[in-house]
Every structure is written in structure tokens, then in C-alpha cells.
Amino acid sequence: MSIAEYMKKVGQQARVASATAARATTLKKNNALLYTAELLDQNRITLTSENNRDLERGQANGLTDAMLDRLTLTPKRIDSMIEGLHQVAALADPIGTISGMSYRPSGIQVGKMTVPLGVIGIIYESRPNVTIEAASLCLKSGNATILRGGSEAIHSNQALASYIRQGLIKAELSEHVIQVVETTDREAVGHLITMPEYVDVIVPRGGKGLIERISRDARVPVIKHLDGICHTYIDAAADMDKAIRIAVNAKTQRYGVCNTMETLLVHEAIARTVLPALADKYAQFDVELRGCDKTAEIIQCKAAQEEDWSTEYLAPILSIRVVEDMEQAIEHINHYGSHHTDVIVTENYTLAREFLAAVDSSSVMVNASSRFADGFEYGLGAEIGISTDKIHARGPVGLEGLTSQKFIVFGDGHIRQ
């Protein structure tokens, strides 16, 4: 069978299975999740040895330490996959929720019912735990799923796939509800993202290169974000303690994630107070500072270049710009930012409201660290990714983002006049 034929078969199987997934009871879906958790627990040794095969090949192929780390299924990571399955089983089932049923003057009663999207394609890189995370969210939201992991994790992913398959079958669901693509050929991705007849949406998880390629070539909608160039704007009316606490946390709490601050904007009226205090703190964390001309007059820093303003460092580096007022900060954010998460620190009521309205990002915050932009922190219970698009889901995407709705109408023989 050619790769094209194989992917078509996988797609057709998913499309057929999606009808059964959509109608599966909450109990069956939860059972499949809990059975999979049990199987993971019972097969720790096999799973670890399959993971070791990937790791050995990865070392031989010269993967970086960071990549090998992401690839490793430590006992703790297996624990958290099991815990994650239990958490998703405990979440409320969004499917079939009926809301807003109200009577119209014609006498019909109209509202909305939450329904699955259908078939979701997940394309991801080295972390094999994504297999379990993504599969569990897609199943709970009544979708069929096609998972396409990186070739470096193929043995780990196939092992995980077999536990999922057994879990589905034991819960009396079709094994095609969750399929893990068996080929490591990159051609498979090309087919997966161009089969709108079988796939309703693609969620890519991985580096910017992967996501750019997928977005460019996809013929299916993609839920994604490319960059996380998050800003903190410290206003003239900021509380100094809050400003420093937030600006330090937003940069240093974790460096390699998308909701970390990459650019700090400071109102010129308080730059001479706040920047020296912050520079001391950042020095303790060895954060490299790259400032505009005005910043360089106040603290020691490298000179920021134009490209710094649109760079996601994912590293202990911070660009700093002194702005004349909030409007300039907003212009900077909407121009250079990635519409991910942006923060104002201010005690001024009017400016806070204007900032909330004017900043065109998927999360906008007042007096809180951008690091909170996360499905768990927002109370979504889980997160399959963060979207910076405006169509469909925006911001952290939990179960709700994996659903659609349909209108339902109750009548009693009503006809249109």
C-alpha cells in the first residue's frame, strides 16, 4: 500500500469512527480513558523499554540533549500521563449540552447543542506524552483523532497507541476512534493536512518551523499559534512592587515557553525608578538585557536591534523599550507582538480598560504575569494548545475549543408563514 493509500484508509476509518465517537456515552468515553490509564500503569516496563529504543536511536542519530530530554518517558512522566487521563475523565462532558432554548414569536423553541468537530489531526514532535494528552482530550470531546508523532518517538508512540487501542476496545468503542499513524514517512503529514473530506481540523504542536509549514500547505483549518512574543507594559501609574514582581516572574519563571515575556515596555515617567530596580533583579537571574536608546541611558544593556522587537527568544534574554505613553505601548504591541498574551501594570482604571479593549491579543491582562496564559490556570481543565487566530477557538484551547455547535429547534407542527 502506498503512503497515499494508507493515509486515505486511516482517514476513511476516522470519518466512520467519528460518527460513533460523537454518539458515545460519557461513561464509555471515561471508561476508555481509565482503562488506558490502567494499561499504562501495568505496562511501565514494556513502555520504558520501547522508549529506550527511541532514545538509543536518538543518541546514535545525534539528537541534542534537549531533544532527548523531551523524548524521555521518566517514571514521573508516566505518572503524569496516568494522572492526566484521570483528570480528563473527571472533566464534565461538553457534548450534547443544550443551551439557550428560548421561544420565538413564531412559537418554535430555538437553542444550541454542543457537538464534536468530527476528525482532528494532531501533528507533533518528539514528546511522546502528547500522544496521551491529545488523544484523551479529543476522545472526551467526542472526536475521532489521527495522531502523527515524530519519527524519533515511533516506538514509544506505538506502545502508547496499543494501550489506547485496547482501552477503546475494552470500553466497546471502535479502535479507529484514535489512530496513531504507523509510518514515519514525512509524506504522511502532507496527506493528513490536505484531506478535508476526512479531517476537520489540524492541531500542530511543536516548533515554529513545523507549524509554519503546516499552515502554509494545509487545506484543512489549523488551530495554532506561531510565536509567543508577550509584552509587559509598566504604566506611569503602576504600583512599583507589583510591576517588579510581575516583570520578574513573567521573564524568569520559565524561559522556553510561549507565555514568557520577551519585551518589556516602560512609561518614560517611571523608567528611571523602575528600570534600575529591575536590572538588579534580572542580573540575579543572568538575564541579558537589550534596550532602546532611552533604556541605555538609564541601565547597562546591549543595544536592541529592530529584529529584537519581533524575536521570541525562549531564553534568558529580554528586550526593553521606554515609551512615551500607553498609546505608543499599544501600537508597539499590536505591531511587533504575536497576539498571544500582553499585560499592563497600572493602578489607573481608565487606562486599564483602554488597554484591555485596544490590545488585539488572545489574552490581555491587568496586573498579572503573562505566565498565567494557560488552559489549566484559566480553569479549562486541560489544554490542547493555544490559538492566536480569530476564527473558532482563541487563547488556550480546552475541550470547548474541540467542539462546534448546531442549532436545534423544537416545534409542535409549526410551519413558516
| Contact footprint for a second copy (CB under 8 A) | 19, 22-23, 96, 102, 104, 106, 108, 110, 113, 115, 117-118, 200-201, 221, 239, 241-242, 245-246, 248-250, 253, 334, 356-358, 360-369, 371-373, 377-379, 390-392, 394-396, 404-416
19 versus 315: smaller Cβ distance to a second copy? 19
At its nearest, how many Å lie between a second copy and the CB of residue 339?
9
User: Where does residue 305 fall: left (phi above 0), alpha (psi -120 to 50 degrees), or beta otherwise?
Assistant: beta
SS3 of residue 70 by DSSP:
helix
Residue with cell 538585557: 289
116 versus 291: smaller Cβ distance to a second copy? 116
List the grid coordinates of 20. 460513533
- Find out whether 264 and 299 touch, Cβ atoms under 8 Å: no
19 versus 283: smaller Cβ distance to a second copy? 19
SS3 of residue 275 by DSSP:
helix
List the grid coordinates of 36. 488506558
At its nearest, how many Å lie between a second copy and the CB of residue 101?
11
Return the H-helix or E-strand segment holding 290: strand 288-291
At its nearest, how many Å lie between a second copy and the CB of residue 236?
17
At its nearest, how many Å lie between a second copy and the CB of residue 116?
8
At its nearest, how many Å lie between a second copy and the CB of residue 103?
9
Return the H-helix or E-strand segment holding 80: helix 75-90
Q: How far apart are CA 323 and CA 332, in angstroms?
A: 9
Range 359-364, long-range pairs (CB < 8 A, 24+ positions)? 359/330, 359/333, 359/334, 360/334, 361/333, 361/337, 361/388, 362/225, 362/386, 362/387, 362/388, 362/394, 362/395, 363/259, 363/395, 363/396
78 versus 274: smaller Cβ distance to a second copy? 274
178 versus 359: smaller Cβ distance to a second copy? 359
205 versus 371: smaller Cβ distance to a second copy? 371
Q: How far apart are CA 340 and CA 387, in angstroms?
A: 8
At its nearest, how many Å lie between a second copy and the CB of residue 408?
5
62 versus 256: smaller Cβ distance to a second copy? 256
